[in-house]
Amino acid sequence: MTGCDGRDASGHTCEGGTVALEHGQMAPVYAVQYALRLLEAVDRHDHGVSADQLAREVGLPSGTLAHLLAMLMRESYVRRLPGGGFVVGESLTRLGGSNRRQELADRLRSSLGELRDEVCAAVYFGRYDDGEITLVDYADGPEAPKVNEWVDFRATGHASAVGKCLLGQLDHDSRREHLSRHRIARLTSRTITDEKVLLTRLDTHPSTVPMLDLQEYAVGTVCAAVPVTAGAAAGCLALSMPATQAFRLRQAAELLNQRAAPLLLSLAI
């Protein structure tokens, strides 16, 4: 990723309503499923376990295993012993303690801040709680301004990337029920105002492709969001940037998708 005001190396621009991910990239939900299996295997060996033994127990090819172990070590869920074996790391121990809620909140804030600096954009974590769209936390800064919430996000699920990503994780009836309480309104000239069109797009949007908001919620701002769901509650990780930097949205959204797995893992443990 280049600086906040530079094009990516390939000069890609963002057009239409989808962002193509790099070939072969593992979707966050699958990365987390395998990572959890790895953690369970590591936890069974108090005195450490080799990568070869983990590969046999979990049934992963060496390339995928190396990628996941690197992620787990980077997040301190796994620690490498001097002899080369792997044991449970500090982060996993803390999340299992009595202050888990505060540990999760601190970890979320730290993760959002790191991601903000990496993608040069404001980043957000949202959840769908008790029938409402909720922004749990965000990280912004002078070089990464957050979107101006000129209309309550709870009422704009049809337009914002956060809202569409969360609604996309609900079943059809739950989406209709939500829209019956929060009627579709035109926020900009790009806002989808036809409920049938919106529901069709949500039904057909691939779960591995970031959801976009190309000035549908606010003129002058573009956004992207990816699902980070653990358990029954829908969640998402999102970013926003000025529309003048829309040429960076594709690459930033790809990076957002790559970084979603560690956050999802902490929520799933």
* Per-residue model confidence as pLDDT tens digits over 101-119: 676 677 788 889 989 999 9
The answer to whether the beta carbons of residues 161 and 191 sit under 8 Å apart is no
Summarised one tens digit per residue, pLDDT across range 183-239 is: 999 999 999 999 999 999 999 998 888 999 999 999 999 999 998 875 567 889 999
Q: Span 9-26, mean pLDDT?
A: 38
- pLDDT at residue 264 is higher than 90: no
Residue 11's CB: how many other CB atoms inside 10 A?
A: 7
- pLDDT at residue 267 is higher than 70: no
Q: Span 241-261, mean pLDDT?
A: 90
- 30 Cβ contact partners less than 8 Å away, ≥ 6 residues apart: none
pLDDT at 29: 60
pLDDT at 266: 67
Q: Span 55-68, mean pLDDT?
A: 87
pLDDT-based confidence at residue 2 (cuts at 50, 70, 90): very low
Q: Span 2-21, mean pLDDT?
A: 39
Q: Span 33-43, mean pLDDT?
A: 83
Angle at 35 between CA 25 and CA 255, to 5 degrees: 35
Residue 261's CB: how many other CB atoms inside 10 A?
A: 22
pLDDT at 113: 92
pTM value surpassing 0.85 = no
Reported as type and span, the H/E element at residue 199 is helix 195-204
- pLDDT at residue 93 is higher than 70: yes
Q: Span 246-265, mean pLDDT?
A: 85
* Per-residue tokens: 254: 């790809």
Domains and CATH numbers, the chain: 28-95 (1.10.10.10), 100-262 (3.30.450.40)
CA–CA separation, 118 vs 134, rounded Å?
24
CA–CA separation, 173 vs 185, rounded Å?
20
Reported as type and span, the H/E element at residue 36 is helix 28-43
pLDDT at 58: 87
- Of 2 and 80, the structure prediction assigns the larger pLDDT to 80
Say what angle helices 62-74 and 249-268 make with each other, to 10 degrees.
80
pLDDT at 24: 38
The answer to whether the beta carbons of residues 225 and 156 sit under 8 Å apart is no
pLDDT at 108: 82
C-alpha distances (whole Å) from 174 to each of 159, 182, 261 are 17, 12, 26
CA–CA separation, 17 vs 197, rounded Å?
13
CA–CA separation, 174 vs 119, rounded Å?
33
Say whether 125 sits in a helix, a strand or coil. Answer: strand
pLDDT at 27: 62
